[in-house]
Amino acid sequence: MRTLTSVLGNSQRLDGGAMFGNAPRPMWEKWIPPDAQNRIPLACRCLLVRDGARTILFETGIGAFFEPAMRQRFGVVEDDHVLLASLAALGVAPTTIDVVVLSHLHFDHAGGALTRYEPGVAPDLVFPNAHYVVGAEAWQRRSSPASPS
């Protein structure tokens, strides 16, 4: 039996103008009002697939790996690792994730694969037993970010 579950990760607040692009603020602010810094709230949701013996996680959200100053700069709301709490509420331990599929390696999609920020401690992978899957082009961009695509 296969089950699909939407799982909440950390949330963030990003500039509304950047998120809506060429749409003028008077139009998009009717849908979602910005704060005093022109930021709008965004949820980072992941998809958990339980397919028989396999447990697969699509995306990991932004996570909690940023140090406090960077967390504030990028509008990450929570300092706890929300994705891990959400998975725990579903009875899923990080060690039971078999595969993590990432659409690309921007921090708001892959940051949740890292442990929560702790001063003086290097981040580690949250899902230590998982195979990580990402497209070749995304991996190339991560490996050589300054090279032309």
pLDDT at 49: 98
* pLDDT(149) > 80: no
Predicted confidence band of residue 90 (pLDDT cuts 50, 70, 90):
very high
Domain membership of residue 34 (yes or no) is no
Rounded CA separation 73/134 (Å): 27
The more confidently predicted of residues 141 and 42 is 42
Domain membership of residue 18 (yes or no) is no
Domain membership of residue 26 (yes or no) is no
Domain membership of residue 84 (yes or no) is yes
**Overall number of domains in the chain:** 1
Rounded CA separation 58/81 (Å): 17
Structural domain span for residue 91: 2-10+43-143
Helices (H), the chain: 16-20, 25-28, 68-73, 82-89, 107-110, 136-143
* pLDDT(6) > 90: yes
Domain membership of residue 126 (yes or no) is yes
* pLDDT(80) > 70: yes
Q: Is 35 left (phi over 0), alpha (psi -120 to 50) or beta?
A: beta
| Digit-coded pLDDT (tens) for 97-129 | 999 999 999 899 999 999 999 999 999 999 999
Domain membership of residue 16 (yes or no) is no
Threshold 0.85, pTM exceeds: yes
The average confidence (pLDDT) of the chain is 93
Domain membership of residue 33 (yes or no) is no
* pLDDT(142) > 90: no
CATH number at residue 114: 3.60.15.10
* pLDDT(145) > 90: no
Domain membership of residue 37 (yes or no) is no
Predicted confidence band of residue 136 (pLDDT cuts 50, 70, 90):
confident
